Structure 1
Amino acid sequence: MKPWRKFLALMAWLLLFLCLLSYYLDKGPVGQMVRCVDASSCLLSPRLQQARLHYLNSNKHQVTLRPAEGRPGGQRSSQELLCELQRRASLRTLDGSQQPFAGMGWSGVVPGEPLGPMVPGSEIETCAVVMSAGAMLNSSLGAEIDSHDAVLRFNAAPTEGYEKDVGNKTTIRIMNSQILARPMFHFNSSSLYRDGTLVWYEDPDFDFFTPYVDRRRKRPDQPFYILHPAFLWGLWDVIQSNSEETIQPNPPSSGFIGIAVMLALCRQVHVYEYIPSSRQTDLCHYFEPHINAACTLGAYHPLLYEKLLVQRMSASTTPDDLHQGSRVTLPGFSTVDCGGDPVTYDRPPNKNT
């Protein structure tokens, strides 16, 4: 064999070895996740454990990290967890009147009415929160998803061509700033964003204000809300206070945000492929061939801790049901007797700002 052919063969075997090594290092015991009682970073692969430590040390958002002592951990019941979420992270959207948003020109641009049921004075009976996870492929859940009164989807997740698995109804779409700012998403021309209620979350990593104002002027009748940062950090506080470890000091994932939004709007919420089912895969999204274990257990977002918290909030669903059935069912806030008034914040209570 010629030397160059030997070299190519050696490189091919080396690439195969590296791919296999990367695969097994990233494979955390995801199937065991729904059987865990306590949140534990031991469920993360070495790579994801390092990522978690990196975000803890960098603390980009300057979050006040509190010691683990005194946290209730796994002691709260599902009802207590739901009530805490309702009290400490009441759904809020920007109305443009508060500083610094008034000084930034938001007044008169954002909707005057708060995000609520599509029909004023009424509640949504059943809702679906459809994750974009690769495990949605071959699920045949489309008809069940479309049977709900309202359906929430995320970012650029499509329905066309995937109707059998994810349905085609979209009532609310939660998006990050990239969807508006990056041309590749065709925000102003794509039919994905033409109908239904739009909701934006997270800090604007891209120029968000300009395309948002442009959209509001072109389609003033389409509801387009911006979640208040205090709502997002209130969610983070609830996750942290119910985790025995210190979680990543970054905002929750879009999935957890979407669940919290629908708990405030619906009497019953069905969440699809948030807790990994038997179809779990490292495929990040059902509509694109990107593979990364962080999409399931989290790196930047405290995704592992979010999922364990949602599992605990679903008292009527057993771990085996979660693993086999791909669906978590949660009672809406309006159906849970909590007493007292929700706690709201003018700014994130856990930050040094």
Structure 2
Amino acid sequence: MKWCRLILPVLAVTLAGILALVALSPPSPPPAKEAPTPAAPKGRHQHPSDNVWNVEYRGVRRPEQSVKEVLCQLKTRARLRTVDGTEEPFSSLGWSRLVPPVPLEKLHRGQGKQGEFKTCAVVSSSGAMLHSGLGEEIDSHDEVMRFNHAPTEGYETDVGSRTTVRLVNAQVVTQPAFKFRTSSLYKNVTLVAWESAPYDLDLSRWYAVGRLFRPYEERRLLDPAQPFYALHPGFFWRLWDVIQGDTRADISPNPPTSGFMGIAVMMALCERVHVYEYVPSPARQTALCHYYERGDNVACTLGGTDEWHPVRFEKRLVRRINVGDGSDRRRGVLTLPGFSTVKNCDV
């Protein structure tokens, strides 16, 4: 016990010295933080020329190319692609088991049909759909695509009542106002979603800043029987390349509209695609943006110098590949060939 009485004062003095040294030492600097990834653009409040996706077009601009050449560009260089879980970061996250087993481009086989759908309707949300009386014709097609939260109830005479494919953007999937989890608009249909992404197809950055992926995962787990696809950025940016290559003007460095993406999707699935009021008919051309809600914005339908999407150039291209006659055009209907009917492409 005597040795304890001798050593305890020594230990107390030593501990006091250590604490004093610690108190006088400068604090350790905090660990360096990784620079945050730039957030995805939120929408039209950003200026169209901001180039937030670092778009750098390196292709050839050939506005003089033929209609056949444009169709071949769309068919071969902008092939329909969805996220299939084979690329990082999705492969590490188990998406190969999460995505639908039947690829979107082979959806017709999953429906027990031989070959492509024969005729398909792409129904725009334009205000020009009002008073069109096109509903019965739209419903007569094998497949009918609509966009975002566009309704049919109460508008059947003009827009029809059938929906088999619905293409939605990330806002519809993530914002509570659209009721994506509960609304009947998004049930008993094939869902196709998209979200803006880097032009260089950096999928890890896309996943890090995207809003689409968690709701997508949740819905696939809750309802694995419903076909639900996420468009690959390599699809919609190559569509953008085709649009840019068809004009010498610099188009907006942002992805195409949902409407243009939907047209390209259906051209990959169908032998013939009928597009309704994407290019407004002369008699019903209006500043009303959507047929189901109030709000005038002529740029929404016709594009403008401050457009976020390359709207004017999309519509110009679609008019170029229209194979319908003048009477259909006056009714607001464009007829486009499916890619399966475009032969002998040497691009």
- Give the TM-score normalised by structure 2: 0.77
Task: Tell me what 1:123 maps to.
Answer: 116
Counterpart residue type for residue 119 of structure 2: T
> 2:339 maps to what in 1?
333
Partner of 1:101: 90
8 Å contact from structure 1 (residues 177, 208) kept in 2: yes
**C-alpha distance in structure 2 between counterparts of 1:237 and 1:227, whole Å:** 16
Structure 2 residue 158 is matched with structure 1 residue 153: no
Is 2:287 the partner of 1:282? yes
Q: What is the root-mean-square deviation of aligned Cα atoms in Å?
A: 2.2
**One-letter code of the match for 1:179?**
V
Q: What CA distance in whole angstroms lies between the structure 2 residues aligned with 1:132 and 1:160?
A: 14
The answer on 1:77 being equivalent to 2:66 is: yes
1:184 CA drift (Å): 0.9
Matched residue type, 2:123: V
The answer on 1:260 being equivalent to 2:249 is no
Out of 62, 65, 71, which is 2:54 matched to?
A: 62
Aligned equivalents of 1:119 and 1:64: distance in 2? Answer: 42
Equivalent of 1:314, from 309, 322, 329?
Answer: 322
Flag structure 1 segments of 5+ consecutive residues without an equivalent: 1-50, 344-353
Cα drift, residue 293 of structure 1: 1.7
Give matches, 1:190-229, under 5 Å. 190-203=183-196, 207-229=211-233
Is the contact made by 2:119 and 2:272 (CA closer than 8 Å) also made in structure 1?
yes
Matches within 5 A, 1:216-255: 216-255=220-259
Find 1:167's aligned residue among 147, 160, 171: 160
CA distance in 2, matches of 1:232, 1:173: 17
Q: Deviations over 1:267-306 (max 9, x none)?
A: 0000000112120111111100021122113311001000
Structure 2 letter corresponding to 1:77: S
Q: CA deviation at 1:104?
A: 4.7
Shift of 1:162: 0.5
What residue in structure 2 maps to residue 6 of structure 1? none
What's the CA shift string for 1:17-44, capped at 9, x where partnerless? xxxxxxxxxxxxxxxxxxxxxxxxxxxx
- 2:299 alignment partner in structure 1: 294
User: 3-state SS of the aligned residue for 2:96?
Assistant: coil
In 1, Cα distance between equivalents of 2:51 and 2:188? 37
Q: 1:188 deviation in Å?
A: 1.5
Q: Give, in angstroms, the shift of residue 244 of structure 1.
A: 1.9
Q: Match for 1:112: what amino acid?
A: P
Q: Deviations over 1:205-257 (max 9, x none)?
A: 76322221221122110100111110000100000000120100100000100
Q: Give the Cα–Cα distance (whole angstroms) in 1 for the partners of residues 292 and 237 of structure 2.
A: 30
Q: Distance in 2 between matches of 1:300 and 1:336?
A: 31
Give the TM-score, by structure 1 length. 0.76
| Bigger RCO of structures 1 and 2 (CA < 8 A, at least 6 apart) | 1
Amino acid at match of 2:335: T
Query: How far apart are the structure 2 equivalents of 1:314 and 1:207?
Result: 35
SS of residue paired to 2:95: coil
Return closer, same or farther for 1:54/1:176 CA change in 2, 3 Å cut-off: closer
Superposed CA deviations along residues 131-185 of structure 1, whole A, max 9, x for unmatched, are 0000101100000000111000000000011000000111100001111211111
- Residues in 2 aligned to 1:239 and 1:316: alpha-carbon distance in whole angstroms: 21
Corresponding residue pairs, total:
285
- 8 A Cα contact 1:202 1:251, kept in partner: no
How far apart, in 1, do the equivalents of 2:122 and 2:112 lie?
A: 19
SS of 1:107's partner is helix
Q: Partners in 2 of 1:54 and 1:173 — Cα distance?
A: 28
Larger radius of gyration: 2
Determine helix, strand or coil for the equivalent of 1:108: helix
Deviations 1:37-76 (A, max 9, x none): xxxxxxxxxxxxxx9x9422x1111001459xx5220x22
- Assess if the C-alpha contact under 8 Å between 1:200 and 1:226 holds in 2: yes
3-state SS of paired residue (1:173): strand
**Whole-Å Cα distance in 1 between the matches of residues 82 and 112 of structure 2?**
18
Alignment of 1:184 onto 2:189:
no
Taking the aligned partners of 1:316 and 1:160, their CA distance within structure 2 comes to 29
In structure 2, distance between residues paired with 1:222 and 1:321: 35
Instruction: Quickly say closer, same or farther: Cα 1:336–1:66, change in 2 above 3 A.
Output: closer
Larger mean CA deviation between 126-135 and 94-103 belongs to 94-103
- Contact 2:120-2:274 at 8 Å conserved across structures: yes
Point out the more displaced range, 142-151 or 215-224. 215-224
